[in-house]
Every structure is written in structure tokens, then in C-alpha cells.
Structure 1
Amino acid sequence: MIIGSVLAAALVLGCCGVIRVFSGGDDDGATQAGKRNGVAATTVPANAGPVSPEQYAQLLAASDSAIKVPFAKLNTSSSAAFAKAAPAAATTIRAEAGKLRSTKPPAGAEGVHGQLALELESLGDMVEQTAGAKQECPAASPYATILQSGWADGLREDARKLAAADSTFKFGTFLPGAPKEQNRRLKTGTYVKRTGSGGLGHLKIKNGASDTTISLVPNKGKKPKPVFTVYVRSGGTYTAKGIRDGTYRIYTASGKDWNAGGKGFTRDCSFTKFDDTFKFTTTSYSSSIWTITLTPMIGGNASTSDVDPNSFPN
């Protein structure tokens, strides 16, 4: 039996954050934003004095109602559908924030009113930017990202404060609660995809990193597809058998919380490939066995490179 090289790969897992800085605008800022997006947005004229509690309650209810329908269209598992619905939702949210900014609230609501308008406008900005940004984890839900954001949490808290000041001040029914963080996993040795077998080659995987899927991809063709993608939990070991002769590349995708529908992780994602290729050959008396060890360490005798998640073979 010919034993292939034992390889150790250094996988560096990380996540990125976005620091957002917002600046105030004129009272007609939402109107201008609406014009840029091709939607006519109007603001409430500035009042000389505070509105009555009854008028303020009506304003809150009207804004909440206006946002509800376009915001609900963001609730989709498809990033493309989210991106399509985002411009209308963002424009409506910012327009309603503009109406709030131009209104002087009644006594008891002054402290939270300005914060509500700011966080509502920022939520609109986040919807727009999320739709246009590359996601660290393509299988993650952009809608869930919005619901779990600090702006959404702030709006929920503002709504509670307004209701405490006056039970008729109701706002935020368009905004569901933040979904709980999940940690869904597959069992070690579960094949996410398998299109070919029948060979005698083996690939032994020792995973000292996070939960990982390992894809064996032919090293030929313009856009080769994996012959298999197998899931190995952190600390797990698995041997994939039945590999046909040929030269392959190995790609890995690591992270947390496996989304079965999206066939990917939703948090802390990392996408890499081994720089070396792996050749499997069979003779009348031997077949290739390769062993790879995925270890979160600096160094190792096999180098890896990061891969754009949008060009990852699947």
C-alpha cells in the first residue's frame, strides 16, 4: 500500500465587523433619499410646538404601518430576493424617520423621540448596505442579520420606553424579535454532496479546527465540481473511501451553525484551499492513501490560501 504524504494545514479563522458612522442631515434628508431611489417621500412640516399625545400616537401608528409591508418582504432565505426588496424598504424606513425628526413630541416622549428617529434612519441605511455587501457567510440570512443588529435592538428598547410613557404610544410592530443564535451541526462523515465513487483511493481527515466541510475537486476543467463534500466536526476524524484515480484539489469551509438549506455555515466562516494538489493512483498491488490534518496553528508543511466564498466550488 502506498501511503501518501501526511499534511498539516494552518487554518486561521476570523470574522469581520463593520464600523458604521452616521451623521445628521437636514429635515428633508429622507425626501432627498426617496428621490434618489425613485420614490416620492414626504416629511411632516416642522411644528411650532409639540403635538398632542393623540396626534403623536397617530403618527407612530402611521409610520409603523407604512414600514410593515416593505419590511416584511425582506423576510426571505434568498439573498437575491432580499436585495430586490431592500431599496423600497430602506427608502420607506428613512422617509418615516424624517417625519419623526420633524415632529416635536409631547411631554414624556422627549427623551426617547430623537433616539428613535436616529436608530430608525440607521436601520434603513443598514438594510440598503446589507443588500449590497458581500456576506462573510453566504448561507446566512441577511434578514436575520438585520433583526439581530444593534439598531434593531435599540428600536425595540425605544418602543418599550414610549409605551411606558403612554400606553397609546405604540411603535415597532413591523420589527420581529431577534432570532436566537443557533448551533446546528451535521454528524462527522455526513456527505453534503457525492457524485462519484468506485475507486480505491482513501482520504483520511483529522480535524483539529472548527466544524469543517472538505471538498475533493478534480484539478481539471474551467469550473470543476466536487466529487464529494463531507462534514467533519471539530476534533473529529473521518476517512473518505472510493476515490477514483486522478489529480485533485482540496477545499475546506469552516464555521458555526450549519444551514442545511443553504448548505453552509452561518457564522464565523472561513474558506480555504490547499495550494498543493493530491494525486491518487492505483496499481495491481497498491492504491493511494492521503492524510490531511486541519490544525489551527501557525506553520505546517502544507500551505493554504483563502478563497472567495462566492467562487467556492459546490
Structure 2
Amino acid sequence: MAEARGTSDSTSDTVTRTARGTAADGGPGTITTAAPVRTRSTRRALAAASLLAAGALVLAGCSGGSTGSGPGAGRTAAAPPVSTPPPVPTPTPTPYGPVLAKWIGPLDAELAKLPQAADLIALGAALKEVGSKAVLAGAGLKLATEPAAASAAHRQLLVALDALSDHIDTVQDEIHSGKYCATGSALARFGQAEALTTIPAALAALAAAGYPATLTVPATGQLQQRALDNGTMVREGSLDGRGELSIENGGSGDAVLSLAKDGKSVHSVYVGKGQTAKFKGIEDGTYEVFFAGGSDWDPATKAFTQGCDFSKFDEPLEFKTTRTSSEIRWSTWTLSLQAVVGGNARTTDVPAGSYPQP
């Protein structure tokens, strides 16, 4: 029996088997059969193909080029340029000296206007402006960066500016209430502000530190307490009659009582606080009776400058002289300038402008 032998080709894995057989012509011969071709690993090859396909998809997805056929096909779009804003410069602080002058200058200008006020209304308006400038100066200087050498004087100035504004508010209220009823007295009352001393002191310290500012405190005068002697006739009309008048002043201040006709004073007499004044020779007639109370009598204006009040008796006084064959009778009146139990005269307050000048 013939022995079958086989050889293996390492590259094709083809196995050739040789066996005894018969050729086509009926003679002995060989029959060759080929086994199927095998790769090293069919599954591994499929997996590799899948990975290659996935990689192609990823690359296709990442490509930014056009898939068309135009001139831009296959190009990647360029990102727009990013503009960087320029750096914002840090502001340079204004030096303290100009800031100080900026806020103190307007206050100085308004202070200079006070002595020019012609009446209380004008003075009130001027004081309001001074107070406004003091408030603005304080607010502006609080935002300033003061040098270390000027720190103490700077704080002193801020406190003084606030105090000046408060003092002006107080003076305005006192003017409205009649406590100060003349320009001179109201201005003198303003001049009592402690801030008018501390502000210049603080500015002097700042000037010594190298930061000058101009502020001049105006002359304001001094509060006074002027008075006339009791019974002095402020206005003396014709005293050729026989009528007599006594005035008892039990009020809180001095007073001037006026007998008036047709809205004009005919006789006016000064009556000291707690005293009684008399005068005679009042001619016959009907008189309206006004009186003004207060303190610090100004002979130039014939008016009190402080604590002013103005009143009028509701009923006029009639002075009448009668004669008979045996006697002459005349009117004698007594008025009390205070509330009296059982009194029969009423009074009404009147505006200062409705009071006849004594």
C-alpha cells in the first residue's frame, strides 16, 4: 500500500494530498485537493475594518472644509479676530489745595453779602445762601482726600461747616418767631456763631500746612439792650387838651403805646417793664390804641429790635371835655398791658406792617 504524505505551504496554507488513484486514462495517477484559504483571524480583521471606518467618520466630522466643488471646497473658515479693549487709565486725584479753594470760595462770597441786606427779608435770603454753601462745602470736602499733614484741620473744618449750617437754621427760626425783628439784631445774632471762629482757625491751620483758602468773616455788630427812660414821649403831638392816660406795663418787656388817628400815630409814650407811665393834655377825640412790646429800642428806626410783638385794643378810647357853670370834666383812662382779672378791654395781634410808626 502506498503511504500518503502531505506538505504544508506556510504562505497559502494549501495542503496537497497524494494518494493512489487512477488517471483519467485509467492508469495510475495523483489527485490533488485544495483546502479553503484561512486568514490568521477573520473576526480580528473585521474589527480592524470597523475601526478604520469609524476613524474616517470622525475625521470627516472634524473637517471644517466645504464638501462642494466650488473654489472654497476643502478650506477651513477662519475665526474673526478678537479685539482687546484698551486699558482704562486710572484717574489722577485732584490735589487737595484746589479742592479746598473750590468749596470755600463760594461760601466766602455769600458771607460778604450779609451786611448789604436792606431788610429782614433780604437778610433771610442771604442767610439761606450762606447755609446752602456751607452744606455744599462740607459735602464736597468729605469726598476729598486730604494729606496726612492736614488731616486734623480738615476734620475741624468739616465739623465747623456743619455747625454753621445748624446755627443759620436756628437764626432763621428766631427771625420768623419775632425774637429778632430788625436787620441789625438778626445779623448780630448770626455773628454769635462759634463756627465763625472755628472755620477761620481751621483754614489758618490748613494754610500753614501749605493749603491756603480765603474766607473773611463780615462785621456783624453786637447785640444791644438799649432803652429809653420810663415815660419818655417818643412822639409828642399837640397836648393842649385836658385828657389823661395812665399805662401800666406788666408785660415781659418794655413797651411803646401809641394813640393814633386815621392810621397815624399822634402820641407815643415809652413804658418800661413793670412800670407805669402817665401823660396829660390829650385833646378831645377818638383814638385807636396800639402798643408794641420788645427789647433793645432803636431810636433811629423807632422800633424794638428783639422780642417784638404788636397789638391793638379792640375798642378805641374817647377823650371828651365837658363844661358846666361850676366845673369842667374831662376823660381819664387807665390801660394795663397785661391780662387782668375783670378787665374790660380786649386786644388783637396785628402784623408789624399794620402798626403805625410811633
TM-score by length of 1: 0.65
Residue equivalent to 2:197: 156
C-alpha distance in structure 2 between counterparts of 1:267 and 1:132, whole Å: 9
Residue equivalent to 2:351: 308
1:198 partnered with 2:237 = no
Asked whether the equivalents of residues 174 and 180 of structure 2 are also in contact (C-alpha less than 8 Å), the reply is no
C-alpha distance in structure 2 between counterparts of 1:114 and 1:83, whole Å: 24
Unaligned 5+ runs, structure 1? 1-46
Question: In structure 2, do the counterparts of structure 1 residues 131 and 184 end up closer, same or farther at CA, with 3 Å as the change threshold?
Answer: closer
| Percent pairwise identity | 31
State which of 199, 221, 226 in structure 1 corresponds to 2:265.
226
Question: In structure 2, do the counterparts of structure 1 residues 195 and 70 end up closer, same or farther at CA, with 3 Å as the change threshold?
Answer: farther
State which of 156, 171, 187 in structure 2 corresponds to 1:112.
156
Question: In structure 2, do the counterparts of structure 1 residues 281 and 170 end up closer, same or farther at CA, with 3 Å as the change threshold?
Answer: farther
Deviation at 1:73, TM superposition (A): 2.2
1:98-148 Cα deviation digits (max 9, x unpaired): 432332323333532432443455567679x67995745533534233323
C-alpha distance in structure 2 between counterparts of 1:140 and 1:113, whole Å: 28
1:146 partnered with 2:190 = yes
Match runs of 1:122-137 below 5 Å: 122=166, 133=176, 135-137=178-180
C-alpha distance in structure 2 between counterparts of 1:126 and 1:172, whole Å: 26
Greater Rg by CA: 2
1:186 partnered with 2:235 = no
Count of residue pairs brought into register by the alignment: 255
C-alpha distance in structure 2 between counterparts of 1:79 and 1:162, whole Å: 30
Unaligned 5+ runs, structure 2? 1-90
Letter in 2 for 1:227: V
Match runs of 1:38-117 below 5 Å: 55-56=96-97, 59-61=99-101, 63-75=103-115, 76=117, 78-82=119-123, 92-107=133-148, 108-109=151-152, 110-117=154-161
TM-score by length of 2: 0.58
Asked whether the equivalents of residues 251 and 271 of structure 1 are also in contact (C-alpha less than 8 Å), the reply is yes
Deviation at 1:236, TM superposition (A): 3.2
1:265-305 Cα deviation digits (max 9, x unpaired): 1222232222333111011211111122334x563513333
Asked whether the equivalents of residues 114 and 218 of structure 2 are also in contact (C-alpha less than 8 Å), the reply is no
Question: In structure 2, do the counterparts of structure 1 residues 126 and 60 end up closer, same or farther at CA, with 3 Å as the change threshold?
Answer: farther
Secondary structure, aligned partner of 1:283: strand
C-alpha distance in structure 2 between counterparts of 1:299 and 1:269, whole Å: 25
Question: In structure 2, do the counterparts of structure 1 residues 64 and 262 end up closer, same or farther at CA, with 3 Å as the change threshold?
Answer: farther
**Larger RCO, structure (CA 8 Å, separation 6 or more):** 1
Measured on the aligned residues, the alpha-carbon RMSD in Å equals 3.7
